[in-house]
Amino acid sequence: MNGLAPEPAETSPKPRRRWPRLLAWTLAFLLVIAACLAIAAAGTGYSYGPLSRETVSRCVAPEPEELRGGEAKKAVGSAEKVLEKLAPKGDFIVIDRVENRLYLRDGDQVLLDAVVSAGAGSVLDDPSGKRKWVFDTPVGRFKVKGRRQDPLWTAPDWDYIESGEPFPKRYSDRTQEGMLGEYALDLDVPGYMIHGTLYTRLLGRNVSHGCVRVGRDDLRVLWKKCPIGTSVFIF
Amino acid sequence: MEKVPHRYLRFHFLTRGALAAIPLAIAMLASGCSARKPSAVTAFSPERLAVMRAPFAASGHYYYELRLNEKEIVLCHSGVDIMHYKAIGLSVGLPRAVWFTRGSYDQWIGTAWGEAKLDPPLVIERVRIIPGNQSTLPTPDEAGLVPPTMEELTPVPASYKILFPGSRCIQVDLQGEITGKQKPVSRARIWWHDFLQGLGVRKADGLRLRLQVDAKSGASLYRTFQPSPEFLVIP
C-alpha cells in the first residue's frame, strides 16, 4: 500500500446510439421525396388557362375558301337564302321532353311557357313476342299537319295490351271521346300529336305514350296561335 | 467584431431559403390551377357565320354551337337557337407532365367538331310495363303508379366529357345540386385518369375545353344530348 486511493477503473466510452439519427435522416429523406412527388403530381394532368386573344389568334381557322375571291358574294347570298328558307315562319313550338316544358316562341321571344307531359320512355312487349313499343316522344323538327276540335281518340293495339283487355271486334269500338281534351294538333309524324288531357295532375311528368299532353288553358292558346304548318321542335 | 455562431448562420440560411420557396411554390401552383377571366374573342363577320351555319342548318338534324364569347353551348336546328346552356367558366387545357405542357393549339376555332360522344354514355333506365296490370294504371281520379320522370330515369354525373375524334374534348363540370338521379363520380378516379394522360401512359386529349356549368343546365345538356351531333365552334 502506498497510501494513495486506488484509481478508478477506466470505463469504455458509452457507445452513441446511431439509430435515432438514422431514422430522422431517413424520415427527412422520405419527406423530401414525397414532397417532390406531390409537386410533380400536382403539375401532371392538364394545364388550364384562359382563352386569351393570343390563343384565339393562333387557333382561328383561316376563312373558308368560299369567302375568298370573286365567288364570296355568291356564297354568302346562297347561305343566307338557305337560312332564310329554313327559318320558321311565324310562331313556333319548342318542346323539352325531359323537363316536360313547351314553349311557344316568336323568334327569341317566349309567348307561352307551359308544363306538359311527354313520353314516359317505358317499354311494352306484346305477349305474342312479335311486337314491342317504346313510348318515347319523337325528336326532331316537325310541322302541325292537322287541327281537330273535340278530337276522338282511336285506341291503338298497345292500349289494349297494356290494360290486358281483348281487342274490340269492330274498329269503330276503338274510338273514345274526351280522352284528348278540347283540341288536338296532329304532327307530321304518324300517330303523334299535341293534345289535352284528363290527367292534369300528371302534367310535368313523363307519362304519355309519346304524344305531348297539355293543360286546358295552354292548349287553348296553342289552338289560337298555331295554324297548320307551324314548326314544332322537339328535343 | 463579434463572431456569429456557425449554427446560427446555417439556420438563418435555411429559413430564408424556405421563405423564398413558398411564394415560388404558390406561383407555380397558381399558374397551373387558376382559370383567369378570359378576354373577349374576336367575333366573326355575319357573312362568315352564315356560310358556316348554312350546311348544318340544312342537315335536318340538331347540332350545337359552342359560342366562346358568350361562354355557352346552344342547341340549334335549321339555324334556330333552340336551347341555351350557359357556362359560368371556360378555360382551355393542354396535357402536361411535371409542369411541362405538351402539345400546342391547332386551329380549332371556326371549325366543326363532328361525331360527338358522351363519356360516360347516356343511359336511360327504362321501365318495362307488365301487360294487364290494371292496378298500376292511372285514372282521371287516381294517379295510379306514377311512372318516373326522365330526370329519374337518366342518371347524370357531376362531371362528364364530350369526346370528339382527333382527341378534342369538352369537359363539363356541374356546379350545385343535380335534380333527379345522379351517376356517382369519383373525383380521385378522374384525377388519376388525367394524371396518366398527362404522363402519356394513356392517350391524352390534344385539346380540352373545360366548361363550368350550373347543375340544372349541365344536367339538361346531358339528358337531351343528341346522337353523334356536330359542334360548330365559333368566337
Chain B from 56 to 85: CB within 8 A of any A CB: 57-58, 60-62, 68, 75, 77-83
pLDDT at A181: 96
- Give me the residue from B80, B96, B124 closest to A121, CB to CB: B124
* Percentage of the residues of chain B whose pLDDT score is greater than 90: 62
Partners of residue B191 in chain A, C-beta under 8 Å:
45
CB contact under 8 A, B137 and A162: yes
Cα nearest neighbour of A58 on chain B: B107
Nine-digit cell string for B59: 342537315
Cα nearest neighbour of A122 on chain B: B127
CB contact under 8 A, B147 and A44: no
Nine-digit cell string for A170: 269492330
Complex prediction ipTM = 0.86
Closest of B212, B136, B147, B223 to residue B181, by C-alpha: B223
pLDDT in tens, B28-52: 554 444 444 444 556 788 999 999 9
Q: Count other C-beta atoms under 10 Å from residue A83's C-beta.
A: 18
Going by pLDDT thresholds of 50, 70 and 90, the confidence category of residue B5 is low
pLDDT in tens, A164-189: 899 999 989 999 999 999 999 999 99
Cis previous bond, B46, omega within 30: no
Distances from the Cα of B222 to the Cα of A10, A207, B147, B153, B209, angstroms: 86, 21, 21, 13, 16
Q: Please give the backbone phi and psi of residue B227, each rounded to the nearest 5 degrees, phi first.
A: -70, 130
Residue B102 · residue B204 · CB < 8 Å: yes
Task: Give the whole-angstrom CA distance, residue B234 versus residue B217.
Answer: 20
Q: Taking the alpha carbons of B133, B134, B138, B144 in that order, is the dihedral positive or negative?
A: negative
